[in-house]
Every structure is written in structure tokens, then in C-alpha cells.
Structure 1
Amino acid sequence: MTTSTTRGSGPTPAVAADHIAAVRAFNRRYTRVIGVLRGGLLGTDFTLAEARILFELANFGPSAVVDLRADLDLDAGYLSRILTRFADRGLITRRRSAADARRQIVELTDLGRHAFAEVDELSQRDIGDLLGPHSPAARTRLIEAMHAIEGILDAAEPDPARVAIRAPRPGDHGWVIQRNAALYAAEFGWNSDYEALVAHIVAEFLNSHDPQRERAWIAEYEGAPVGCVYCVREDDTTARLRLLLVEPTARGLGVGTALVDECLRFATEAGYRTMVLWTNDVLTSARHIYERAGFHLTAANPHHSFGADLIGQTWTRALP
């Protein structure tokens, strides 16, 4: 398998060339848009790195040089030259730490704080001009997209404890239809017949479900939906599990298991004696979840649906 190496880590799966090209194109365009390639930031004589150092010292107070270097991931020599220029201009003072004489502490002077205030005001105005031509709705979408980028690139180790199972909110059922259609098209090549089936199931649930005996759940991770499942009435003693879905970004967090467990718990409390579900042989990850939850394969039949040749499977589990 082809691998690539990332800074500070071992080999990782190769990244598609078009994905790399897209990120590089984004960087080229938006470093120009926000002006970071200009010699002086915002028309000042400060570079981007110098302005960022001023920001750190203005917002977080005196700092040890070694900490400043680590926080900003700057070369030691490069940072030293910047601080020397700042000191020569009277923007900072430097002193040894009272607790550890080996650590040098840098702090903005009044002149340094005034210089930062000017840069900060120019930055506020510049971003305001950038956002001004766009509607409030477009600005909101932009900020949400920025949060999405941060969430992906700055993601900490996934934490299953942060998965929440909740009732659907307005718009969530539409998300269920859209994500089912998009994911199964991308992963298995299924056509719009599957989207029509999901839309029919969801519409039927919304139009006529009995809240005491039928329920739906959304799995949420870090504020975004990442999975779903529905429990509907088959007959007086049998419940049917439908539309289990887990986003690829959330796989491995136990989302599918948590959703199935919630479905089983509700069906048991609602008085059903059996739960059934229908799936297809290609959905191996879902099948493993069902097996762990105690379901047993009771029927399998070949069929041609959603533009593909499949083997439909019925799985059954007795409830307590």
C-alpha cells in the first residue's frame, strides 16, 4: 500500500492527489485574499509573524521566549531576530525570570501596546470590509465552514464519551434522507431509488407514527449529527429497526452500537416481543453491529435494487 509521511508522525495512508491540490489551491487563493503575502501587514511595517507576536504579548501578557517559540512554532533564530528588532524600537522589554534565570521574559511596553492597538484596529476594519458585501446568512455559512475546517484539522483523539443520542429536531429528518442518499451513492453506487425509499420511510414515520410505540434517534458528536436509527411498528408484538446510519467520520466511536442499543431498549419498554430488520449483504459494518447486539440471520434473498445486484437479509432478535 502506498503511504505518505506527515510531520512528526509515522507513515499514513496516501492522500489523493486531487485532495492535496485542492487544499493548496485554497491556501494560495485565501492567503492572497486576506493579504498575508504583502510585505507589510495591513499597510504597516509589521510582517504577519511580527503582528502575531504582538497579539500574543498583548492578549496573554509577559511570556517566556521559549514558551512563545513553542506556542507559535517559530524557529529560535527567527524569533530572536524579531524580538531584537522589537527591543531596538522600544516595543518590548526583556528580563530574566525571577524563578529561573535561564528563562528570558518579554513584555510589551506602552509603545508596543499602542503599536498592537493600531494593527488590531486595521485588522478589524480589513475583515469587516471583506465580510461587508455578503449577507448575514452567507457570513454565518462562512463561519460554520471555518468551524468545520478547525474541527477536522485540529481534532483531538476521538472520544466516544462525547457521543450523544437525542430525539430528532426540525430539519433532522431531512438530514437523514440526504445523508443516506449521498453516503450509499458514494460507497456503493446506489441510485436515486434508494433515496426515494428512504424518503418514503421517513415521510410515513412523520405522518403517522405512534410516539408510544415508534421512535427515532439522532446521534450527535461535537454538535453535529453523525448517525440515526428508527424504530417502527411491524405488528403488535414485533418492532422493526430501520435506517441505521453512521457517518464515516464517526465510525469507531460506538455510534452504531449506541443507536441499536437505544432502539432495543425502547422496543422492550414499549412491549414488543421481537425486533426485526432488513439489510443487504454489502453492509458489513452494520451486520457486525447487529451480530454483537444479538440479532440472528433468518432469511437471505437475492434481488436487484438501487441499481445493483444485492442479497437482502432479514435479521431477528427476541426481546426480554
Structure 2
Amino acid sequence: MLDERNALVADVRRFNRFYTRTVGLLDETLTQSAFTLTEARVLFELGHRSNPASAEIAGERGFLAGAFRLENGPAASEISRQLRVDAAYLTRILRKFAGKGLTEARTDPADRRRRVLSLTSRGEAALARLQAAADRDTARLIESVPDDRLHELRSALRKAGELLGDRTRDSSEVTLRPHRVGDVGWVVQRQAQLYAEEYGWTIEFEAMLAEIGADFIRNFVPGRDFCWIAERGGEPVGAVFLVHQ
């Protein structure tokens, strides 16, 4: 197990080098903008965490936010902790942003000892330009990915984030979609594994499942027969078949 972890460490570092080289961030500048990578991360964080709807904020803070239309952005300490940026370095960045009219600080109505940060209209415009540039760069990055493999890439990214502790996505929602190439094979694989693990069934059961799956594919008539795949967080978690007898 230790050898596998060491191999994974090497794989992660190799991918990080590849990705960093690919997106061109070795010079610490994002998309040829006026912001360094860390400055861009701070700007993104401010944009994503400023002005949440007051209904989503519990208690007195939410009531005051709605009543007085006050900003409910993060405090500097929260950004420092979230982005793991040195507090002194973050202070210099925020001072630079304030000097350019990109950010403003206000007193938290629920705790007057606390100062919350938000983007000004100029800051929001700068963030929009940065976001558009980042989107263009990312679109170019994935141009070489064939259309029929886009879903595979999205699923891999979601799974990597989930395994590494990313909690920014709501993965509780389950969606249904029609089956596509490869889904019936996945159902056969998962059923065979499940019954082997829980009931000790042998590979002969997998052979029977494969025959049933092949029969469904060969005799499938759109509009008469159906297969839906349930997904959560972009990953298949179940299936429903409805066939004409």
C-alpha cells in the first residue's frame, strides 16, 4: 500500500508539472493579465463569496443583511485560511486592490469588530474580464478532446476533486439520462461485482448478465424499450431497464 501511495505521489506531481506547463502559469501570470496567479485567486474568491443572498445566511446576520442590504463578503482571515495565503502577503494584495478601487471593506452589522470585504463595480468588471480570459484559455486547452470523450474528462475531474476532498460541488442531486454506448457494459460489470462481493456468486453469473445485456442491445427498439442511467456528481450510480415482452 505504501508503494502505491508513493507511486500516486509521483503521478500527481507529474500531472501538476504537465498542467502547469500546459496552461502557461510558470511565470506566475494568469492569461497575460495585470494580476499574478495569487492575486487572481484572491479576486475570484472575493467574487464568489461576496453578496450571498440573505436568505442563505442564518440568524441575525441574514436578517440584517436583508433589511439593510449590506454586503456579507468574507473577512481577510477567511480568505487567508481558504486559499492558504500568508496573512501579510494577503494584506499587501488587498491594499493594492483597494488602491485601484477594486475592493472595499465594511463593518459586519452582526459583529462590529469584524470587517468584511467585497468587490466594487470596478472590481466586478475586472473579475469578469479575468474570468472571460480564463474561459477562453481553458476552451483552447480542451480543443483536442474529442466530443465523445468530453463526458469522460468531466467525470474524471469530478472524481479527482471528490477523492481529494473538494466539497464545493453539491453531489447529492441524482439525475436520469438515456443510456449511451458503454452503459450496458457498465451495468453488467457493476452487477457482477456486487453479487460476487455480497453473495459470492461466480463468473458464470457475469456471463449470464453479459448475454442479457447483449440481447437488450441487439433487440433494442427506440420508443419501445428504455434504459435510464442514474448519475450523481456526474458518475453512474444505478440503472433502470424497461423492455417490451
Q: Same fold (TM over 0.5)?
A: yes
Counterpart-to-counterpart distance in 2, 1:220 and 1:41: 34
Amino acid at match of 1:202: L
Give 2:48's match in structure 1, choosing from 50, 59, 63: 59
Identity of aligned residues (%): 37
Contact kept, 8 Å, 2:231 with 2:238, in 1: the verdict is yes
Q: Which residue pairs with 2:160 in the alignment?
A: 149
Q: Structure 1 residue 22 and structure 2 residue 11: aligned?
A: yes
For structure 2, list consecutive stretches of 5 or more residues without a partner in the other structure.
51-72, 195-201, 217-228, 240-245
Describe the shift of the 1:98–1:178 C-alpha distance in structure 2 as closer, same or farther (beyond 3 A): closer
Amino acid at match of 1:200: A
Amino acid at match of 1:92: T
Following superposition of structure 1 onto structure 2, how do residues 2-17 of structure 1 map, counting pairs within 5 Å?
15-17=4-6
Look up the SS of the partner of 2:144 in the other structure: coil
Give 2:24's match in structure 1, choosing from 32, 35, 51: 35
Contact kept, 8 Å, 2:192 with 2:209, in 1: the verdict is no
Q: TM-score when scaled to structure 1?
A: 0.48
Counterpart-to-counterpart distance in 1, 2:145 and 2:231: 30
Q: Structure 1 residue 48 and structure 2 residue 37: aligned?
A: yes
Look up the SS of the partner of 2:113 in the other structure: coil
Q: Which has the higher helix share?
A: 2
Give 2:116's match in structure 1, choosing from 105, 123, 135: 105
Contact kept, 8 Å, 2:155 with 2:235, in 1: the verdict is no
Describe the shift of the 1:84–1:24 C-alpha distance in structure 2 as closer, same or farther (beyond 3 A): same
Contact kept, 8 Å, 1:57 with 1:108, in 2: the verdict is yes
Amino acid at match of 2:208: I
Counterpart-to-counterpart distance in 1, 2:193 and 2:17: 30
Q: Which residue pairs with 1:201 in the alignment?
A: 208
Give 1:121's match in structure 2, choosing from 111, 132, 143: 132
Taking CA–CA contacts closer than 8 Å with sequence separation of 6 or more, which of the two structures ends up with the larger relative contact order? 2
Amino acid at match of 2:6: A
Describe the shift of the 1:113–1:155 C-alpha distance in structure 2 as closer, same or farther (beyond 3 A): closer
Q: CA deviation at 1:104?
A: 2.0
Describe the shift of the 1:174–1:110 C-alpha distance in structure 2 as closer, same or farther (beyond 3 A): closer
Contact kept, 8 Å, 2:230 with 2:236, in 1: the verdict is yes
Look up the SS of the partner of 2:157 in the other structure: helix
Describe the shift of the 1:182–1:33 C-alpha distance in structure 2 as closer, same or farther (beyond 3 A): farther
Counterpart-to-counterpart distance in 2, 1:219 and 1:142: 18
Q: Which has the higher strand share?
A: 1
Q: TM-score when scaled to structure 2?
A: 0.61
Q: Which runs of 4+ in 1 moved over 6 A?
A: 179-183, 218-223
Task: Count residues with an aligned counterpart.
Answer: 187
What do you get for the CA RMSD once the two structures are aligned? 3.7
Amino acid at match of 1:68: I
Higher Cα radius of gyration: 1
Give 1:81's match in structure 2, choosing from 74, 92, 106: 92
